[in-house]
A and B are shown apart, each in its own frame.
Chain A
């Protein structure tokens, strides 16, 4: 067993932290949160130059040849610092789908553009029932004159507002087993018939409503084969969950670090508030939540990275980490008191993201149904 990161991973972590502290201060984070685009092209370009966008993709597609675990290390650091922008959508959701389902030509062309920071992607998966299940996909794609015509509404689509391409999951066959009738389409986000509306959200992440009205897509834009989309989505969701957990671990660590620093420095009743047992015990509970989250997340990440079966580990990581991140940020607020309740302060950035993280890709109760199933209950 080895709980440690490799030397390269430690270096990645350190350099990413240093870079983000300098290039992505909280002032910028807040500014981007307020903006409609939600990302800084300049920061995006610099991240691409560092090789972040191509990190998990093979070198032959212009990537960095890193492992999924490497990506997780980077994401933890990004979660610690908070980096607004379509990185998750482009690299984790979009890039991974292309890597899994794209033709050689698609991978060469699209992944190298992802790696160089030229391409922004979005995954148009969830619909108004907001679930991550095959049966929830009502959007259809019908073949007409050699093209697929997509109709339907996608909701809670991250970063569709800035994406160049959307990976749209649509029903191509009516069957009693919906997972056998879904196909992934690569859709130009500027194609006629697409209407994208930015939603205003808790975490001020850029979730969108995307309406497809008779959007024509050439056959070649199918990713992973006709009616074979859902298996890819399942695999990607597993990775996405772990990736989200990694961000949450970073965020929880940041909230803990902030709270501890403040508890040492804030003086009331002539002593630092960190000397009060009530505050100390909050901090102790936070440590246990943060460390526990990190362990289960990295175990799941390692298994996924090694290609081992990880269904239960991923569900465990999400259920625990989502709840833990929420607990940690709430306790941090309790320690900061009124000052944490202001927009000027940084803590709410984490408190907001904690809940969004808990919800996305299925909340704790949903993950526990998977754990129960995997236990053979």
Chain B
């Protein structure tokens, strides 16, 4: 066992840190867009930063160089993720999804031509995908999707409705799951497509989220005609391709570092209160709660490290990722609540309010944290995965 990073790795960490200092525009930190809070302006900054990250080969560091990546080792990727998330750099969930989920699937199941095109576009930060998974009646039961793709000559014709598509109003492509055979068991009739969002027949309708921002959309497909090569991988094998595609997710690996930042800021706030003579800084109960957060986050960090370590040994985590996701969602909720507790009435103040502290982040985290543990597989689904895949408990009939 060895929990140290090598000297070379430490040097790399410094390099990333320095680079971030130079490249992330101050305006980004002023806006301080959190999860599901992108605005047109922050989105533009995000895309600009992603392109710079792409030029460095750091946007999709795991990709081979020929597709715009840098064949980076898992440990270095871990370090990169930690630094990006700790410094709240503008990476964005959608780009992570494009790189990991979509890119992962395309690199495994796509043709050489598809790989060359999409992986390179993503790795360079030129294109971003939105997810076309959930439907109004298919949430946790994702395999029950009804959106249809039918072959017609040289094309596929797509009809149906998707929901909760984050940033579909900005995305270049949709990574779409559609039913290609309605007459077989539900898992066996799904295929995956890349759909250009700018073609006729697609309507994007905004959904305003709890933070009062436009992040989600409903996307309607009305006789949308796409060429044959929009299909990725084998027809009707989409469900299985999805399940295999989830690799090293940077957003997951970086979650402890992101939390670390939040917790440190809270601690800083309490210290400052102490310095200014506010009794908050001496409150043993507050100290106890903050210390508990630190302990929990240390556990989370080790869970993240384990995943990176497993990959570096050529192992493939399955339930381990679910466990980290579950743990991190509960920790974020815990952190949000401790934040609100520490700040009290000040925690209730919004970002733009007079007298606000922390740019209103406590309150925004309190609202935003609900989505973690709901989106991308609910906590209940993650627990099922840990129980069944991790512990070998039987599937419920």
- Inter-chain contact A201/B349, CB cutoff 8 Å: yes
Asked if A343 meets B341 with Cβ closer than 8 Å, knowing A202-B348, A207-B348, the reply is: no
8 Å CB contact of A338 from B341, B374, B383: B374
CB distance from A131 to the nearest CB of B (A): 8
8 Å CB contact of A359 from B340, B378, B379: B340
- A335-377 vs B: 1/0 string, CB under 8 Å? 0011011111000100110011011100101000000000000
Q: Is B350 an interface residue (CB 8 A)?
A: yes
Asked if A344 meets B141 with Cβ closer than 8 Å, knowing A130-B346, A207-B348, A330-B333, the reply is: no
Residue of A nearest to B333 (CB): A330
Asked if A268 meets B355 with Cβ closer than 8 Å, knowing A201-B348, A201-B350, the reply is: no
Chain B contacts of A202 at CB under 8 A?
A: 347-350, 363, 366-367
Q: Is B164 an interface residue (CB 8 A)?
A: yes
CB distance from B169 to the nearest CB of A (A): 15
CB distance from A352 to the nearest CB of B (A): 8
- Inter-chain contact B345/A130, CB cutoff 8 Å: yes
Secondary structure class of chain B's binding surface, majority of residues: mixed
Q: Is A203 an interface residue (CB 8 A)?
A: yes
8 Å CB contact of B341 from A126, A269, A365: A365
- Inter-chain contact A341/B350, CB cutoff 8 Å: no
- Inter-chain contact A209/B354, CB cutoff 8 Å: yes
Asked if A334 meets B350 with Cβ closer than 8 Å, knowing A342-B209, A359-B340, the reply is: no
Chain A contacts of B207 at CB under 8 A?
A: 342, 344
- Inter-chain contact B370/A199, CB cutoff 8 Å: no
- Inter-chain contact A351/B370, CB cutoff 8 Å: yes
Chain B contacts of A261 at CB under 8 A?
A: none
- A311-351 vs B: 1/0 string, CB under 8 Å? 00000000000000010001001100110111110001001
Q: Is B113 an interface residue (CB 8 A)?
A: no
Residue of A nearest to B163 (CB): A338
Chain B contacts of A356 at CB under 8 A?
A: 348
Q: Is B391 an interface residue (CB 8 A)?
A: no
Q: Is A156 an interface residue (CB 8 A)?
A: yes
Residue of B nearest to A135 (CB): B279
Chain A contacts of B141 at CB under 8 A?
A: 268-270
- Inter-chain contact A200/B349, CB cutoff 8 Å: yes
CA distance A197 to B349 in the complex (A): 13
Chain A contacts of B172 at CB under 8 A?
A: none
CA distance A209 to B138 in the complex (A): 46
CB distance from B326 to the nearest CB of A (A): 12
- Inter-chain contact B375/A348, CB cutoff 8 Å: no
CB distance from A346 to the nearest CB of B (A): 11
CA distance A279 to B348 in the complex (A): 30
8 Å CB contact of A343 from B139, B208, B285, B348: B208
8 Å CB contact of B352 from A200, A203, A268, A276: A200
Q: Is A129 an interface residue (CB 8 A)?
A: yes
8 Å CB contact of A355 from B140, B285, B348, B378: B348
CB distance from A168 to the nearest CB of B (A): 18
Asked if A267 meets B137 with Cβ closer than 8 Å, knowing A334-B378, A343-B212, the reply is: yes
- Inter-chain contact A278/B349, CB cutoff 8 Å: no
Asked if A359 meets B347 with Cβ closer than 8 Å, knowing A202-B363, A333-B374, A341-B374, the reply is: yes
CA distance A352 to B340 in the complex (A): 12
Chain A contacts of B353 at CB under 8 A?
A: 199-201
Residue of B nearest to A126 (CB): B345
- Inter-chain contact B285/A334, CB cutoff 8 Å: no
- Inter-chain contact A155/B210, CB cutoff 8 Å: no
Q: Is B337 an interface residue (CB 8 A)?
A: yes
Chain B contacts of A129 at CB under 8 A?
A: 278
Chain B contacts of A128 at CB under 8 A?
A: 355
CA distance A201 to B212 in the complex (A): 13
CB within 8 Å of B: which A198-220 residues: 199-203, 207, 209
- Inter-chain contact A338/B346, CB cutoff 8 Å: no
- Inter-chain contact A334/B374, CB cutoff 8 Å: yes
Chain B contacts of A330 at CB under 8 A?
A: 333, 370
Chain B contacts of A344 at CB under 8 A?
A: 207-208
Chain B contacts of A201 at CB under 8 A?
A: 348-350, 353, 363
CB within 8 Å of A: which B50-80 residues: none
Asked if A363 meets B341 with Cβ closer than 8 Å, knowing A202-B350, A202-B363, A207-B348, the reply is: yes
Asked if A268 meets B139 with Cβ closer than 8 Å, knowing A200-B353, A342-B207, the reply is: yes
Residue of B nearest to A201 (CB): B348
Q: Is B292 an interface residue (CB 8 A)?
A: no
Chain A contacts of B137 at CB under 8 A?
A: 267
Residue of A nearest to B368 (CB): A341
Residue of B nearest to A279 (CB): B380
- Inter-chain contact A197/B348, CB cutoff 8 Å: no
Residue of A nearest to B283 (CB): A365
CA distance A330 to B347 in the complex (A): 18
CA distance A348 to B364 in the complex (A): 13
Chain B contacts of A199 at CB under 8 A?
A: 349-350, 353-356
Chain B contacts of A355 at CB under 8 A?
A: 340, 347-348, 366
Nearest 8 interchain pairs by C-beta: A200-B350, A200-B353, A268-B141, A343-B208, A130-B345, A202-B348, A156-B345, A201-B348
18 A-B pairs with CB atoms under 8 Å apart are A128-B355, A129-B278, A199-B350, A202-B348, A202-B366, A268-B138, A268-B144, A269-B144, A273-B140, A276-B380, A333-B374, A334-B374, A334-B378, A342-B207, A343-B209, A343-B212, A344-B208, A351-B210
Other than the given A270-B141, A278-B383, A334-B373, 16 more pairs (CB < 8 A) read A155-B355, A200-B350, A200-B352, A200-B356, A201-B363, A202-B367, A267-B137, A268-B139, A278-B380, A330-B333, A330-B370, A341-B370, A341-B371, A343-B210, A359-B347, A365-B341
